Amino acid sequence: MIAPVVEWIAFGVFAFIAVAGALGMTTTMSMFRSGIFLMASFIGVAGLFILLLADLIALLQVMMYIGGMLVMILFMLLFMHDPGGAMMSTHMSLKGPEKWFSLGLARRQTHGKHPHGQHEGDHGGHGDDMPMQDMSMYTAIKRPAAILALLTGALLIALLVWRPHWAVVHALPDQDSPTRIGELLMGKYMIAFEGAGLMILLGIFGAVLVQRPATPPPAPDRDQLKAAIDETPPPIEDDTLEPEVLDLREDEDR
Amino acid sequence: MTPIPLTAFLIIAAILFAIGLYTILAQRTAVMVLMGIECILNAVGLNLIAFWRFTAPGDYSGQIFTIIIITVGAIEMALGLAIMMLLYRNRQTVQVDDYTELKG
Amino acid sequence: MGIVWASIATLGVLLAGGLLTWWLEPRLLKAFGSTEPGPAAPLDIRKNPRPSQADPLTYYGAPIIALFGVVWATVCLPWGPALIPADVNIGLFYFIVVVDFVVLAVALGGWGGNTPGSVEACYRIVAQLAAYVVPLGLAIIGPIMMARSLSTVHIVEAQRDAHLWYIAPQLPGFVLYLVTGLMQVYRAPFLEPFAACIDRGVLGACGGWPGVLWRLALAGLLFVVAAMGAVLFLGGYAGPWLPGWLWMLIKTLAVMVLMLWLGHRVRLRGTADMLALAWKFLIPVGLANVLLVGILILLGVGQGPFPLVGSAP
């Protein structure tokens, strides 16, 4: 179908995106970039799926994981002290892959505030005097974990390279994947299909119930809360970003 | 040139598995641990589709299995995030080093 | 078509459609008497806002990703039986996925802009994605079921062979597609990510070439979504006297005008209202639509002879 050279080049590109994305997720200082790198890794693997002639699964993977990773990033932004990575990359000296995957994050030390970490003003408590100890993203077992991961990877690759052959079949799959998958889902795997649907429903219920407060707020507070939600928010005063946010300049080369 | 062998895809999956394993063990915040789990699921999906394509391309059960795994991965991530949110609400921290009730 | 010609054709179609929409939309909005242009806000070339603390990777990469998403979406639009850059076998599913790339791009650009308005836009756009994607899938399922194929060319040919534009048996599906289409393109009444109260979101933090690319991408997005509506419900390029591509253009513009007009009749919805509308009202309507289409198929509506072009379904 496609010339083997083109296939190998495509394989190289997608494999590089997949592995570099996973590495970037692990090593970058910015949580947001972690999520984006993981998304890139999934898209790289989706490209490999297309090379393997599983186009429906590739599109499914891209669709689910773009949505999923975006939501995960939003959750991260709610809870982390430094989701943008600006504080960590400005104050820590980074080496190796961490430095390369965190390029562009360090801020100039022109003022004492840190813009990225403070954009969520109401999730405050991250005041000016952020304690500078213990900002690391890694646990204490970082070095043994890296060695373990390298050994596992090396062991797996060695097993793959020196293993006797699998029963590889050189037929091409049927090109009409939606019809075949549809027939299987509605026929042979109906229980799995319905079970997955039921599990998604239970997951939705569970997630909502798990994070709901145990008791609703008492009645007078509820009205106040509702009024507070419905009214328009006050404009942001005392915003340290204000003077230097928009660099409105006349376009010089017109 | 030869077409791409099965082993090439499996090696990429092994590398992704190792990186995911490192992420689970070495990252400090609960969300990053979840991302490491997703990376491992990614590697598993790649393995499945590679084996489907090279050993049984006529039977689409391999793709069905991958669909189910992607679905379960998404559900598990959603529930993990909900639990993490509850933990944050109770303990004001998301670092897994601080969840030490069962220790000792 | 060869790969090179197909790429050039795709870019040409998108540029033509995007520029046409960019020119046409403000005039349509003025004719409908709207006060909130949303993404169609005019671009002031002389001002060049550039946030001083932007994250360069995401801030400059975002409009490129948005434009890529819209270009890839143009690939599966048929302008004639053979005038399609690539007849993807799973065309409609592919279309939904690549329009998601625009959402990703706005989220990236919003975060990268690092101004309060653009980060707010990042959150709102993800909420809009969660709102539109399920009802859109349910609206699209109707024509897929009747034509028994995901490929856009097959759907148009099925409408031509059955002598039945799918809008007639599937009016609820068409209305659902219009509503979720408006959610997809961020025009009124669902233009929260680009509202004036947050400085137009990512558009307010960009000037110069990122601003031009953003506006081209958003105009192209409206064009592409309207064109897909014409393919699914109005019979695409099928029509008696005029050439196929002219019919397609007329139908696309008709769907676009209809979407904008209907959108501006309704007051603007906030994000919470939009999510409630999508999950509490549109999804049950979509499921009822699927049931209706199933009943119609069993009664034999729209099941003309199926000697379809290309490979068998």
Q: Roughly what angle, to the nearest 10 degrees, separates helices C91-113 and C116-147? A: 180
Residue A252 burial class via C-beta count within 10 angstroms: exposed 0-12, middle 13-18, buried 19 and up: exposed
Neighbouring chains of C at 3+ CB pairs within 8 Å? A
User: Looking at chain C from residue 62 to 121, which residues have their Cβ under 8 Å from any Cβ of chain A?
Assistant: 89-90, 93-94, 96-97, 100-101, 103-104, 107-108, 111, 114-116, 119
Q: Is the pLDDT of residue A20 over 60?
A: yes
- The C-alpha of A251 sits at a distance from chain B's nearest C-alpha, in angstroms, of 42
Whole-Å CA distances, A186 to A190, A194, C58: 5, 9, 42
Q: Which helix (H) or strand (E) holds C177?
A: helix C171-185
Give CA–CA dist A183/C247, Å, rounded.
36
A176: contact with C, CB 8 A cutoff: yes
Q: How many angstroms separate the CA atoms of A194 and C284, rounded?
A: 19
CB contact under 8 A, A63 and C150: no
Sign of CA dihedral C3, C8, C9, C14: positive
Say whether residue A114 is in contact with chain C using an 8 A CB cutoff: no
Whether C177 and C139 have beta carbons less than 8 Å apart is answered as yes
**How far apart are the C-alpha atoms of B79 and B85, rounded to whole Å?**
10
Contact between residue C259 and residue C182 where contact means Cβ atoms under 8 Å apart: yes
Q: Which of residues 39-98 of B touch A (CB under 8 A)?
A: 39, 42, 45-46, 49-58, 60-61, 63-64, 66-68, 70-72, 74-75, 77-79, 81-86, 88-89, 94, 96-97
Pick the more confident residue, A134 or A185.
A185
Tell me if A13 sits within 8 A of A48, measured CB to CB: no
Q: Is the pLDDT of residue A28 over 70?
A: yes
pLDDT on residue C305: 56
* Predicted pLDDT of residue C55: 73
Number of structural domains (chain C) is 1
- Residue span of the structural domain in which C31 resides: 3-298
Q: Is residue C309 part of a domain?
A: no
Query: Could you tell me where the beta strands, DSSP code E, fall in chain C?
Result: 47-48
Q: Tell me, what's the pLDDT at C239? A: 80
How many Cβ pairs within 8 Å bridge chains A and C? 104
Taking CA–CA distances from C125, the nearest residue in chain A reads A70
Cα angle, residue C230 at apex, residues C224 and C231 outer, rounded to 5° = 90
Contact A45 B45 (CB under 8 A): yes
Residue A108 above 60 pLDDT? no
* 3-state secondary structure (DSSP) of residue A247: coil
Q: Which of C97, C114, C126 sits opposite A62 (nearest CB)?
A: C97
Amino acid A173: pLDDT: 77
Q: Looking at CA atoms only, how far is residue A142 from chain C in angstroms?
A: 28
A2 pLDDT above the threshold of 60: yes
Cα–Cα distances in angstroms (integers) from residue A137 to residues A55, A103, A203, B25, B94, in the given order: 37, 17, 29, 12, 11
Residue A246 contacts C, CB cutoff 8 Å? yes
* Band of pLDDT at residue A91, cut at 50, 70 and 90: low
Q: Phi and psi at residue C85, in whole multiples of 5°?
A: -55, -40
Note the pLDDT of residue A85.
66
Closest to C14 measured CA to CA, from C244, C219, C226, C245: C219
Structure tokens at B95: 């670092």
**A250 sits in which H/E element:** strand A249-250
Residue of A nearest to B9 (CA): A48
Cross-strand bridge partners of residue B29: B95
Q: What angle do CA A239, A244, A245 make, to 5 degrees?
A: 75
Point out the least confidently predicted range of A108-112, A123-127, C94-98, C241-245: A123-127
Number of C-beta neighbours around residue C283 at 10 A: 16
Q: Measured between CB atoms, does A115 come within 8 Å of chain C?
A: yes
ipTM confidence: 0.91
B100 touches A: beta carbon within 8 Å: no
Q: Which of A11-15, A203-207, B7-11, C36-40 has the lowest mean pLDDT?
A: C36-40
Mutant choice from A89, A120, A246, A248 vs C, greatest count of C C-beta within 10 A: A246
**A154 touching C (Cβ < 8 Å):** no
Residue C9 lies in a domain: yes
The verdict on residue C102 lying in a domain is: yes
Give the three-class secondary structure for A46.
helix
Nearest CA-CA partner of A68 in B73, C277, C283, C109: B73
Cβ neighbours for C59, distance < 8 A, ≥ 6 positions apart: C51, C109, C112, C113, C114, C205, C206, C210
Predicted local distance difference test score (pLDDT) of residue A121? 32
Q: Report the distance separating Cα A175 and Cα C311, nearest Å.
A: 10
Q: By the CB < 8 Å criterion, does C53 face chain A?
A: yes
**CA separation for the pair C300, C273 (Å, rounded):** 39
Give dist(CA C298, CA A16) in Å, integer.
49
Q: Which residue of A has its CA nearest to B23?
A: A26
- Position C46 scores a pLDDT of 63
Region class of A160: left (phi > 0), else alpha (psi between -120 and 50), else beta: alpha
Most confident of A44-48, B59-63, C158-162: A44-48
CA of C230 vs chain A CAs: smallest distance (Å): 23
Lowest mean pLDDT among A12-16, A213-217, B15-19, C290-294: A213-217
Write down the pLDDT at residue B24.
92
Structure tokens at A192: 């799995």
Dihedral in degrees, nearest 10, Cα atoms B62, B63, B65, B68: 180
For C42, half-sphere exposure in the C-beta direction (CA atoms, 13 angstrom radius) is 9
At residue A217, the pLDDT reads 65
Q: Is residue C81 part of a domain?
A: yes
In a domain, C125, yes or no: yes
Percent of chain C surpassing pLDDT 90: 33
Chains that touch A (3 or more CB pairs under 8 A): B, C
Most B-contacting residue of A8, A31, A136, A211 (CB-CB within 10 A), to test interface: A211
Q: Which residues on adjacent β-strands are paired with residue B104?
A: none
Nearest to A13 by CA among A41, A42, A44, A39: A44
- Does residue C311 form part of some domain? no
Residues of A in contact with B36 (CB under 8 A): 26
In angstroms, the CA C54 to CA A104 distance is 9
Residues of A in contact with C119 (CB under 8 A): 119
- Residue C209: per-residue pLDDT: 81
Give me the mean pLDDT over the C228-243 stretch: 87
Closest residue of chain B to A78, computed from CA coordinates: B85
CA–CA separation, B34 and A25 (whole Å): 12
Rounded to whole angstroms, how far apart are CA atoms A218 and A221? 6
pLDDT band per the 50, 70, 90 thresholds, residue A88: low
Select the residue of C57, C97, C116 nearest A119 (Cβ to Cβ).
C116
In this structure, is residue C227 part of a structural domain?
yes
Flag whether C303 is in a domain. Answer: no
∠C139-C140-C146 over CA atoms, to 5°? 110
Q: How confident is the model at residue A240 (pLDDT cuts 50, 70, 90)?
A: very low
Q: Along the 104 residues of chain B, how does pLDDT read in single tens digits?
A: 788 888 899 999 999 999 999 999 988 888 889 999 999 999 999 999 999 999 888 888 999 999 999 999 989 998 988 888 888 888 887 788 777 777 76
Tens of pLDDT, residues C43-72: 766 666 677 667 777 888 899 999 999 999
Chain B residue with the nearest C-alpha to that of A56: B63
Amino acid C279: pLDDT: 92
Q: Decide which of C204 and B15 is more confident.
A: B15
Q: Any contact of C with B, at least 3 CB pairs below 8 A?
A: no
pLDDT at A38 over 90: yes
DSSP string, B59-90: -THHHHHHHHHHHHHHHHHHHHHHHHHHHHHH
Q: Which residues of chain A are within 8 Å of residue C311 when distances are taken between CB atoms?
A: 175-176
The stretch A71-95 carries a mean pLDDT of 72
Quick one: closest CA in C to A235, which residue?
Answer: C197
- The confidence score (pLDDT) of residue C205 equals 75
Residue A127 has pLDDT above 80, yes or no: no
pLDDT of residue A115: 41
